[in-house]
Structure 1
Amino acid sequence: MDTDSLRRDVWNGSIPCKINLDLSEDPAYEAVSPYFVSIPRISYIPLWIDQIYQFFEPNFAESHECRPQNAWFEFEGVPLKWHWPVGVLYDLFTGRDPSIIRDSDNAEYQLPWTLTLHFQNWPTKHLMRLDTEDAAEDAWKNTLKQSACVRNGSAKTVMSMSKAESTKLWEGLLDHDFDRFWSVNEKLMTDPTVMRGIPIRVYVPSTPRVVQLPVAPFLESKEPQTIGTALNSLIPELFRSKRSALVARPVVHGVVVAMNTPVAELLQVAVYPDGFLHITLAMMS
């Protein structure tokens, strides 16, 4: 498959979700039906809050707390960081190893992904506030600038975009429009032969640890940097071998990635809208 086809497949990946209201905030919510929605993996929770809120709004009492800006979500007691992509959140907090077929009766692995919607007791120790209308866009743009700095040594490619291009890029993400988004994002991609570093974030399950260090596209031997060599340098305690997964498997967009996959090539097709290659780890038994 060509690069464009693979990018489209990544773009079209989604997580079917079941949203419940928090019964502790109002016992009457027990009679409220859950909301089912399929959220793109590359999207962000705040982009879906208005749609979810409109479904539940008729059930809310006259309370200043039940407002979209106060909405936050949790999975099994863990608040979900709204500035992380939905696909990353799902892969990290379910800890699923996609290479293993699970018992369909095991609720832990069943879809839809069941989340709880809250409007009270914002977890300030874990989540930034959505305190402005543009908070989600600003957070995304700041991360986009970080990834550009890693690739090019500066954020010039992002900063030099015209207002029209910047708007088109954000609206493409907002409306889940592949062609609109990638017509601009293609210009932000960097040729691996001149790339200074590859922006990677690695998420370790069951810990608050996120490893964010750039890796070179090529090794000193001039061989391509692979997922195996990159993880061996970033997290050697989990990846003692550069060729075989012994303790954990790397997962990108819900797919286990082979250890010999060149990272620069993977970035071209599996990059998230913020410019990073996000890798979650599925721990092996």
Structure 2
Amino acid sequence: MTELEEQVLDEVWSGFVPLKISLSKYDISFSGTPLDYYICVPRCSYLPLIVENIRKHFDQYTSTDYIQDEIWFSYKSVPLKWHYPIGFLLDIYSSILYNSVNLTIPFEIEVNFRRFPADILLPYKGLKSLYTIFQNSLKESCAMLLGTSSPVLNLSREQEDKVWNCAKTGNYKGFAESTRDFSGLSQENCKLIPVKIYYQKLGNGIMLHPFQASEQKNVLDAVKEVVEEFQGKIVAQGIEIPGDSDLHWLWKCLAHPDNFLYITLLDS
């Protein structure tokens, strides 16, 4: 790692998203308007990690029995996928204003205590569900990078817990110490660069698209392999990315803790 790369990583991992959370009108049981809940969360964190605080805040406004499996979040009535990093969700629901990327700050979302949209969202069975998805994603990215997921599988339980805690809190230095065998790798040591791309016109979800690490490729060329006609803005970690940016460098410095580079494509 160069000094510049270390500085970029520190800034990326210390990034926060301000949230303004409102209670769904369908869950309000008492007269009056519930006070919204404001919180800043790490970009690399996940919505289920703040559920308990939100439940306590809105408990006085609703008679709904709290069922962990039923709680979900939405943005402008669109269910938010609970297993996506919060910063990535913000990128997805951003827009282009005056030819610049416009991040909606604070990110105004709703919490819902009932009517879980099982046809849209993965089943949620508590934080164990989130932990399992994170671990599986880490194994998947490791297998792409090295051709094997063994470095992740060989972590001790103590190391696994440290990696997860660092991912939740945005602790880059602690994360790097435990994952040096499969994160921040040089281009020569990578087989594939693990990338996930979101483009609304291609369906409701993200596309897994690894790229050959041996090929010197900029991000615009990579995007056009997936969406040939794309002419809009490329966003990662809330940043508008110049098209000539090196793809491996972007992964090395802007990947989320699961070791995937999340790219969002926004139409101009």
Report the TM-score, using the length of structure 2 for normalisation: 0.91
Q: Which moved more, 1:22-31 or 1:81-90?
A: 22-31
SS in structure 2 at match of 1:193: helix
2:220 is matched with which residue: 203, 210, 228? 228
Q: 1:184 and 2:178 equivalent?
A: yes
1:143 maps to amino acid: S
1:52 maps to amino acid: I
1:72 maps to amino acid: W
Distance 1:98 1:124 in 2: 37
- Cα RMSD over matched residues? 2.1
Extract unaligned runs of 5+ from structure 2: none
1:130 maps to amino acid: Y
Distance 1:208 1:126 in 2: 9
2:248 corresponds to which residue?
264
Q: Which moved more, 1:91-100 or 1:122-131?
A: 91-100
1:243 corresponds to which residue?
none
Give matches, 1:87-236, under 5 Å: 87-96=87-96, 100=100, 110-189=104-183, 190-205=185-200, 207-219=203-215, 224-236=216-228
Contact 1:99 1:256 in 2 (8 A): no
Distance 2:97 2:160 in 1: 36
**How many residues of Structure 1 are paired with residues of Structure 2 in the alignment?**
264
SS in structure 1 at match of 2:189: coil
TM-superposed CA distance for 1:51, in Å, is 2.0
Q: Which has the higher strand share?
A: 2
Contact 1:50 1:68 in 2 (8 A): no
Contact 2:71 2:113 in 1 (8 A): yes
Distance 1:20 1:9 in 2: 29
- Residue 82 and residue 212 in structure 1: after superposition, are their counterparts in 2 closer, same or farther (change >3 A)? same
1:252 is matched with which residue: 208, 226, 236? 236
Per-residue CA deviation, residues 185-216 of structure 1 (Å, 9 max, x unaligned), is 33322331021100001100354152212101
TM-superposed CA distance for 1:280, in Å, is 0.3
1:264 maps to amino acid: H
Distance 2:79 2:94 in 1: 13
2:81 corresponds to which residue?
81
TM-superposed CA distance for 1:124, in Å, is 0.3
Distance 1:94 1:48 in 2: 22
Distance 1:99 1:172 in 2: 36
Contact 2:29 2:61 in 1 (8 A): no
Contact 2:28 2:62 in 1 (8 A): no
1:280 maps to amino acid: T
- Residue 229 and residue 24 in structure 1: after superposition, are their counterparts in 2 closer, same or farther (change >3 A)? same
Q: Which moved more, 1:114-123 or 1:9-18?
A: 9-18
Extract unaligned runs of 5+ from structure 1: 103-108, 239-246
